[in-house]
Amino acid sequence: MTRVLIVDDHPLVRAGIAQLLDSTDDIEVVGQASDGEEGLTAVAELKPDLVLMDLSMPGMDGRTATRRIREDHPNVRVVVLSSYSERTDVLEALDAGAAGYLLKDAPPEELLAGVRSAARDESPLAPRVAREVLTAWRGTRKAGELTARELDVLVLLADGLPNKVIARRLGIAEKTVKAHVTQIFQAIGVTDRTQAALWADRQGRASGLHERRERLRGTDGDQR
């Protein structure tokens, strides 16, 4: 049984989602919260397996709440359930540690499939979200260009850290790390971690990687 907490500022939305999830034999709604702060408290008290998180809420928004939950409760998976499918919203949510990103206008069966997928430690993405993010990435990415988060992943990868440790160090999901590694390989034109580490060493101070490495090493004593 997958225990789910719903965090959304609209009571009718929460009620509808709860009714849908509770109609199944393998999903149980253990609580509801109306904003990020309430969500943090509910996670600590109820210890759900999975949180369905809205992004746009008064007070603490969904991105901040997602990051806090992942930092304080790394075993709790967060799946964003939003009305927005813009690239920035999706990437910021994934960077915050979300395990997946679903849309509120999806058919009920798609939402149920996404919850079950996340419960299996997979990363569900709504088809429209996946297409738009991939299209935007291909259209705007230049050779060798990396985002700030990808540079963080690259530095830790070059230090020999496995994906699980990188995820813990950065407070994001392991699946998100894997996605970043794939994008890094494509952006810098390499095919494995050793080549990526050599690329990072060659770039060195010119790209600020040495300074980034020192900063990241200062955030956690776990080097392996």
- Report pLDDT digits (tens) over 90-99: 888 988 899 9
Q: Is the pLDDT of residue 184 over 80?
A: yes
User: Is the per-residue pLDDT at 224 higher than 50?
Assistant: no
Least confident among 27-31, 57-61, 64-68, 135-139: 135-139
Instruction: Answer whether residue 37 shows pLDDT above 60.
Output: yes
The per-residue pLDDT of the chain, averaged, comes to: 87
pLDDT single digits (tens) 98-112:
999 999 999 999 999
190 against 133, higher pLDDT: 190
Whole-prediction pTM value?
Answer: 0.64
Alpha-carbon dihedral sign for residues 208, 162, 171, 95: positive
- DSSP track, 58-71: SSS-HHHHHHHHHH
Give exposure, 189-205, as e/b (b: 16+ Cβ within 10 Å): ebeebeebbebbeebee
User: Of all residues in the chain, what percent carry a pLDDT higher than 70?
Assistant: 87
Q: Which domains does the chain have, with CATH numbers?
A: 2-137 (3.40.50.2300), 148-217 (1.10.10.10)
Helix 62-72 vs helix 36-46: angle between axes, to the nearest 10 degrees?
Answer: 30
Q: How confident is the model at residue 219 (pLDDT cuts 50, 70, 90)?
A: low
Among 55-59, 69-73, 204-208, 212-216, the least confident range: 204-208
Question: Given this model, what pLDDT does residue 138 score?
Answer: 54
The answer to whether residue 88 scores a pLDDT higher than 90 is no
Q: Is 97 left (phi over 0), alpha (psi -120 to 50) or beta?
A: left
Q: What is the pLDDT of residue 136?
A: 55
Give the pLDDT confidence score for residue 210 in this predicted structure. 67
Q: Is the pLDDT of residue 16 over 90?
A: yes
Q: Tell me: the pLDDT tens digits for 129-139?
A: 877 666 655 55
Tell whether the model's pLDDT for residue 213 goes beyond 80.
no
Closest C-alpha to 65, from 106, 114, 5, 116: 5
